[in-house]
Chains A and B, each alone.
Chain A
Amino acid sequence: DADVTQTPRNRITKTGKRIMLECSQTKGHDRMYWYRQDPGLGLRLIYYSFDVKDINKGEISDGYSVSRQAQAKFSLSLESAIPNQTALYFCATSDPPLAGASYNEQFFGPGTRLTVL
């Protein structure tokens, strides 16, 4: 079973609709992230959460909101979808880094392909 799952895997919606993308993890990680991938732009961070009570904006949070329902669940919402939010969305998780470590490996879900018409 996948450690980081995303639902739905594909979604087509219309401009103005509210959409929720869900992410669940069984890795027991405290930290969760939402990224979007666009051709030619790589992955960009939308929101991140270091624990259930912690929510932070990333590079491109406008037009998005998130909810950290539990340690294992982190949802991304598009309140009123627009066509330029058409992208591939990834959820990722990580542990806090070990003492003295400079980085923490992030584990990614399989992605949600969202198309806004």
Chain B
Amino acid sequence: DQQVKQNSPSLSVQEGRISILNCDYTNSMFDYFLWYKKYPAEGPTFLISISSIKDKNEDGRFTVFLNKSAKHLSLHIVPSQPGDSAVYFCAASVTGTYKYIFGTGTRLKVLA
């Protein structure tokens, strides 16, 4: 039973345009969400997070939106750059557990 789902395994976007990566979750107890980025032959690296008390968090070109009622979060990358080409994982956590449930990942390809 996949509690965190990324239904798009891959996404291609033109350089300079917006990339939108989506993530859905089923466990209403989740109250903290993170996005990790992974390049080939490297481990995932933390990108951005959001607490359930917020509906938006922004860091430079990266913005994460959280819709609690829909149990949905999305990562927006604007403008997209070729160096953003990677696999993106969303992860969810229940406060106090400090364990993350990861989604299946979306491979983003930004075309020059």
Chain B residues in the interface with A (C-beta under 8 A):
2, 4, 6, 9, 31-32, 34, 36, 41-46, 49, 51, 89, 91, 93, 95, 98-105
A31 at the interface (CB under 8 A from B): yes
Q: Taking A102-B32, A103-B93 as contacts, is the C-beta distance between A110 and B104 under 8 angstroms?
A: no
Residues from chain A with Cβ under 8 Å of B4 in the complex = 42
How many chain A residues sit at the interface, stated as a range, is 20 to 34
A110 to B41, CA, bound (A): 6
Residues from chain B with Cβ under 8 Å of A92 in the complex = 43
A90 to B89, CA, bound (A): 14
Q: Are A106 and B100 in contact (CB under 8 A)?
A: yes
Residues from chain B with Cβ under 8 Å of A111 in the complex = 41-43
Encode A52-69 as 1/0 by CB contact (under 8 A) with B.
000000110000000000
Residues from chain B with Cβ under 8 Å of A94 in the complex = 98
Encode A9-23 as 1/0 by CB contact (under 8 A) with B.
000000000000000
- Of the candidates B44, B45, B104, the one having the most CB atoms from chain A within 10 angstroms of its own CB is B44
A105 touches which one: B2, B46, B95, B104 (CB < 8 A)? B46
Q: Are B46 and A90 in contact (CB under 8 A)?
A: no
Residues from chain A with Cβ under 8 Å of B95 in the complex = 102-103
Encode A34-54 as 1/0 by CB contact (under 8 A) with B.
010000111111001000000
Chain A residues in the interface with B (C-beta under 8 A):
4, 31, 35, 40-45, 48, 58-59, 90, 92, 94, 96-97, 102-111
Q: Are B99 and A108 in contact (CB under 8 A)?
A: no
A35 to B44, CA, bound (A): 11
Q: Are B44 and A108 in contact (CB under 8 A)?
A: yes
**Interface pairs A-B: 7 shortest CB-CB:** A108-B43, A43-B102, A42-B104, A42-B102, A102-B32, A103-B32, A102-B95
Q: Are B99 and A41 in contact (CB under 8 A)?
A: no
